[in-house]
């Protein structure tokens, strides 16, 4: 379990530094599929620092809370946290990313709400399965 926590934290921290304004066209999922007109309506200059801050915060908080749960509470709770926390964090991230559109595209907005709903349903299924066992 400790290896999972360390590897996932390292991956999240690495992702924070991989995406830059210069390579967002090819490396940022979702942005690379936007048309040139839609890209002009997205504030990439302020999104990239937010992306970096979000992933670094997620990596550090995930590491610290997971280690606390693992050693102070139980590995069972650390495992649940390892599944639920990133899902909740990415639900928030997707919701917040919509605010970086200068002019909101209805298609993109509906897609992001659909993804948020899907992640929330996955989270509910995980919680139900956990409560059953």
Q: Where are the domains of the chain?
A: 2-132
Is residue 61 pLDDT above 90, yes or no?
A: yes
Per-residue pLDDT band for 62 (boundaries 50, 70, 90) equals: very high
Q: Identify the DSSP state of 33.
A: G
User: What letter would DSSP give residue 102?
Assistant: S
Q: How far apart are CA 77 and CA 70, in angstroms?
A: 7
Q: Which two tokens stand for residue 80?
A: 């649940």
- Check residue 104 and give left, alpha or beta (phi > 0: left; psi -120 to 50: alpha): beta
**pLDDT > 90: percent of the chain:** 14
Report whether pLDDT(56) > 80: yes
Query: Across the chain, which distance is largest between two alpha carbons, in Å?
Result: 51
Of residues 55, 115, 113, 64, the one with CA closest to residue 86: 55
pTM score, whole prediction: 0.77
Q: Which of 38, 39, 11 is nearest to 25 (CA)?
A: 39
Residue 104 has what pLDDT?
Answer: 67
CA atoms within 13 A on the CB side of 13: 11
Digit-coded pLDDT (tens) for 69-114 = 988 888 888 888 888 888 889 888 888 887 777 766 677 677 777 8
For residue 60, pLDDT beyond 90: yes
pLDDT band (50, 70, 90) for residue 53: very high
Q: Summarize the confidence of residues 6-31 as an average pLDDT.
A: 82
């Amino acid at each position: 379990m400790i290896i999972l926590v360390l590897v996932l934290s390292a991956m999240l921290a690495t992702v924070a530094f991989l995406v830059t304004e210069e390579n967002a066209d090819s490396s940022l999922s979702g942005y690379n599929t936007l048309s040139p007109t839609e890209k002009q309506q997205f504030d990439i200059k302020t999104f990239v620092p937010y992306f970096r801050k979000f992933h670094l915060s997620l990596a550090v908080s995930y590491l610290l809370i997971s280690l606390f749960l693992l050693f102070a509470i139980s590995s069972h709770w650390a495992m649940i946290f390892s599944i639920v926390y990133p899902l909740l964090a990415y639900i928030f991230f997707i919701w917040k990313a919509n605010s970086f559109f200068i002019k909101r595209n209805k298609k993109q907005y509906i897609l992001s709400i659909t993804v948020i709903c899907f992640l929330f349903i996955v989270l509910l299924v995980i919680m139900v399965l956990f409560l059953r066992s």
